[in-house]
Amino acid sequence: MDVNNALDKYINYISIEKGLSKNTIESYLNDIIKFLNFYNEKTDTSEFSDDDIEDYVLNLSTSGMSVSSILRIISSIKGFYVYLISEQLNNKIKLNLIIPKNEKHLPSVLTEQEVNDLLEQPDIKKPNELKDKAMLELMYSSGLRVSELINLKLSNINFPEKILKVTGKGSKERIVPIGDFAMEYLLLYMNRVRNVSRFKNSNCLFINTKTGKPYSRQSFFKKIKYYAMKAGITKKVSPHTLRHSFATHLLENGADLIMVQKMLGHTNIETTQIYTQVTTQRIISAYDKYSKRK
């Protein structure tokens, strides 16, 4: 359904059926319109996803907005999302959102050692865990959103060139490199698991070898939590954490901000700039620890 038509129906719904006050409705409407304007290339309700809210929150965080204000905005957008789900106007939204819980507004990031520990957990002798290993390595190597990862097609991979064509938000395509480790385990997964599966003719890259269906977002989320627990990582870890860590580690190792923006597929540079704050905070924290040892 057209986004504007859906918004009109939602406002009518909360006005008549829920009986909200005029002021409350105007507040919701203002928040939702700003959100929709941020993604003005999306014209149909089916194009929206959970990732859109998370990236929008990152953008708001760079402006120094208070947590209370961000939470109010999330609540407004979430109400609209719930309506889209209930009216069957979007079947992709699951509302597995990362909600800010402190005034720093910074995304959770793993250290390089924690990433290494996490990626070492899958037992590649087991077919399903070899697939998990390939997915984790590829996500961290290329900074993919979880929705981009699970929707990859075989045709998106250029194996000889070690590059990946990603269709991101607004159906925008970008080209990102695939790291050597990611390519190594991707080829192992292809040869040992996918190409010997009875569903090997599927165009999806990562499949459930029992059903032939694409790997689900929820399954991947549970797997990352499981491997993080095995690695002894106490931080809250989600698929988006690997994307945050990818961006932060690139900047810490001297990557250009514009290059990182392009690899992440961010429309606005302000969204990418949040990672410079993470990097600065980590440098200060490391210096503080060093100073205390002196």
Q: Is residue 217 annotated as part of the catalytic site, yes or no?
A: no
List the catalytic residue out of 131, 223, 240, 244.
240
Strands, DSSP E only, in 68-179? 157-158, 163-167, 173-177
Phi, psi of 2 (to 5 degrees): -55, 135
**Closest by Cα among 117, 92, 130 to 206:** 130
- Contact by Cβ (8 Å): 108, 237: yes
Q: Is residue 92 annotated as part of the catalytic site, yes or no?
A: no
Contacts of 25 (CB under 8 A, 6+ apart): 11, 14, 15
Q: How far is it, in rounded angstroms, from Cα 196 to Cα 214?
A: 16
Beta bridge partners of 164: 157, 176
Question: Between the CA of residue 272 and those of 158, 197, 206, 280, what are the distances in Å?
Answer: 27, 39, 28, 14
Q: Report the sign of the C-alpha dihedral through residues 51, 55, 61, 66, in that order.
A: negative
Q: Is residue 145 annotated as part of the catalytic site, yes or no?
A: yes
List the catalytic residue out of 105, 131, 145, 194.
145
Strands 173-177 and 163-167: antiparallel
- Contact by Cβ (8 Å): 95, 81: yes
Cα atoms in the Cβ-side hemisphere of radius 13 Å centred on 137? 22
List the catalytic residue out of 131, 133, 169, 223.
169
Q: Is residue 105 annotated as part of the catalytic site, yes or no?
A: no
List the catalytic residue out of 133, 243, 244, 249.
243
Q: Is residue 275 annotated as part of the catalytic site, yes or no?
A: yes
Q: How far is it, in rounded angstroms, from Cα 236 to Cα 225?
A: 8
Active site residues: 145, 169, 240, 243, 266, 275
